A and B are shown apart, each in its own frame.
Chain A
């Protein structure tokens, strides 16, 4: 009977991979929005798609997205909440005409991440359940630590110019103030919105969609429209400027950031990558050297170590690894069914969306692992070709028209799927909050306070008390 399943599952894996690959080319459209639409479609035609194909289909959708959203993120400067992991170096490479190389480097990292997920199977079954249970009763304060570190570790980006100490402080710390304001507003928004959602109950499973479109997609589009960013002429690389050491150095930060994001609720790959960067950065192993002068006019020559150059590549690779661990790993953990964790340890948007209609069973893990390898390999091949095509066409695309169309499409999706004008109003409000970090130069992931704070408080059992203080109960 199992043999009968194989062609059906394979078909749905291919379908998911194809759907993910095509849809992720729409800049700023998040795969969880697609997954939400797919669930609604499935509920309407439940009898057409077999139950056992649901998980492989959605898994392949997310796998394809993890690989291929690199292309719009790299070439068209569109970013989701996890883009902090990969944006800046790839953006710099696009400016130098090396966008395809950046996309492939990140894609290589994602492929490594896919195989890492499989290689981690013993870890997931023999060590991870212990960690999940030990930390399970302490997640509220662990999220509290993430919040505190996240706010306190944003360092002043200004140089501190001004005639008085107060002016100097304000000039230097304006990004920190903007960050705290964003965090506060997003947290307040989240507390109100999650405690008392204003959308109709039947849209509840997707009610966070307009919030996220507003926080991340719309500000990116506005930024791109205002900056009139147009990718310069790109070249198609025959090889990528990275050696095997780069890939091995990228594994640890990618694993650390990815697993943090996969396990901790509301911690995205962007926040995970920031934490992993702080934990694993080894740049100073090879510090800058002062050498005898080499150029005319020099007194000493400052030699930049190879490690500094390597870091840019490591960052892209680690970003790729972390991304798949976050998107795919969080869902895969749903299938690590052990005596300690009889219901798995899955987290993330997809696990949440599927929970009402699907529950993992022992043995599903290996179906999912095969799906990751199969879908990941196909997605990587599409990525290689897609990067070439994007490199050819990106400089020729009219970015203004493209983003205007995307803006209209996203607004239409929110209108029709996430609550009509109420959804649009929510999107508008969160767009305003999401633009603060973009235009005041602080971390965009501050917007994730919309989930981080309510989840931390709800886990501790204080969420509704705060809602009571806000007069919402």
Chain B
């Protein structure tokens, strides 16, 4: 999910603890335990922390074996595809994961040369597209010459999108997923990847026991950083600091930080990529439950909105007592949640359904596939 979704979720989760809300209230208020604490900030900070570790640190320290940095003025699709084929061969020969990183081609402050990597079962193609803006909108008339536009190279081994060498935890997740979602279609081919703005993409290629190469998209993402154990380790120092500062309920600082971290990892498990939940005890990345796509705006918006309403709900319940008069009053908790949470979300989903219907109508009769899922945490390319 998006960074802000995790952030708001972490904060909302922390506000369910009455002591946390009360100690966060301004000391000038007539609220027992009010201490102007910034403790809730820890929940937000740790709510976004796993992706920060990945995207701001981890990806740069995870060294690729092969780097493809195309010539900005004359990109050669053949060479670019051959590099991928070389990575596949090396993976088969060396028996370890080979990581290949494709770099973006920036031509101006708001101009990027877009290219596609298209995967077959035993071939790979690279196609150079138009120049696009940071909003990924193509500039008309910037396509390369047809003869320099694309190239296809045959691979030494077959590549596949799903791993067959899985540990007990991954097997358990697959079993639960099957129970929740029913039968699953087996993914045969890897979806094409688009490379244009910002930081490029890394693929991991690993020979598996069935003789095929497992294609691992963004192998550095959601590994060590998405572990409950790491969360505990990173949260503990806050409890220690609070203890040394002689703050009341010092242990709560560690708990709130861990809560934010744990909410993030748990939310990510509803997506496709999952996480290395028990790293360093169990290092491989466990697949997610594939309930939502990380970049789905409906999921992200509804969670953020729900998070906001729950924050208001909890702040009011534990401090001001203006709106949520308890279960027995007219402004009962349930009435509040019905009016401000359930109904607005119902209206929202109704509107979104109409917009989606319009999109579906436009797509009717068209033959197409969707592009690869966007990595989560990064947010859409909003201008900031």
Contacts and interface: CB of A to CB of B under 8 A. Distances in A.
Nearest to B106: A159
Nearest to B3: A153
Interface in A252-277: 274-275, 277
B315 to A, nearest CB: 5
B121 to A, nearest CB: 15
A275 B26 contact: no
A48 interface: no
**Size range of the chain B interface in the assembly:** 35 or more
Contacts of B116: 299-300, 302
Contacts of A289: 363, 366, 368-371
Tell which of B38, B134, B143, B152 has the most Cβ of chain A within 10 Å. Answer: B38
Contacts of B146: 295-297
A297 to B, nearest CB: 3
B110 A156 contact: no
Contact of B52 (A152, A165, A168): A152
Contact of B27 (A141, A312, A461): A461
Interface string A269-313: 000001101111111111111111001111110111110110110
A306 B2 CA distance: 22
Interface in B116-169: 116, 118, 125, 127, 129, 133-138, 143-150, 152
Contacts of B55: 155-156
B38 A140 contact: yes
A284 B295 contact: yes
Interface string A425-447: 00000000000000000010100
B198 A312 contact: no
Contacts of B304: 279
A398 B285 CA distance: 59
B314 to A, nearest CB: 10
A172 B199 contact: yes
Interface in A123-166: 130-131, 133-135, 137-141, 144-145, 148-149, 152-161, 165
B137 A304 contact: yes
Contacts of B34: 137
A281 B297 contact: yes
B44 A92 contact: no
A156 to B, nearest CB: 6
A173 interface: yes
B136 to A, nearest CB: 6
A152 B51 CA distance: 10
A459 interface: yes
Nearest to A157: B198
Given A145-B11, A155-B56, A278-B379, A302 B194 contact: yes
A303 B368 contact: yes
B67 to A, nearest CB: 8
Nearest to B368: A289
Contacts of B11: 145
B40 A141 contact: yes
A198 interface: no
B192 A88 contact: no
A12 to B, nearest CB: 38
A272 B27 CA distance: 27
A285 B69 contact: no
Contacts of A459: 26, 36
A242 interface: no
A169 interface: yes
Contacts of B152: 299
Given A148-B41, A308-B135, A161 B380 contact: no
A395 interface: no
A155 B34 CA distance: 35
A315 B135 CA distance: 11
B384 interface: yes
Given A286-B359, A288-B194, A88 B382 contact: no
B29 interface: yes
B28 interface: yes
A159 B149 contact: no
A130 B323 contact: yes
Given A137-B29, A168-B60, A285-B297, A148 B44 contact: yes
Interface in B235-254: none
A460 interface: yes
Contacts of A274: 382, 384
Nearest to A173: B56
B48 interface: yes
A176 interface: yes
Interface of A: 84, 87-89, 92, 130-131, 133-135, 137-141, 144-145, 148-149, 152-161, 165, 168-169, 172-173, 176, 274-275, 277-292, 295-300, 302-306, 308-309, 311-312, 315, 340, 443, 445, 459-462
Q: Lowest 5 CB-CB distances: which A-B pairs, in order? A: A297-B149, A297-B146, A277-B382, A460-B36, A169-B60
Interface of B: 2-4, 7, 11, 24-29, 31, 34, 36-41, 44-45, 48-49, 52, 55-57, 59-63, 69, 103-104, 106, 110, 114, 116, 118, 125, 127, 129, 133-138, 143-150, 152, 192, 194, 198-200, 295-298, 301, 304, 312, 315-316, 319-320, 322-323, 352, 355-356, 359, 362-363, 366-371, 374, 378-380, 382-384
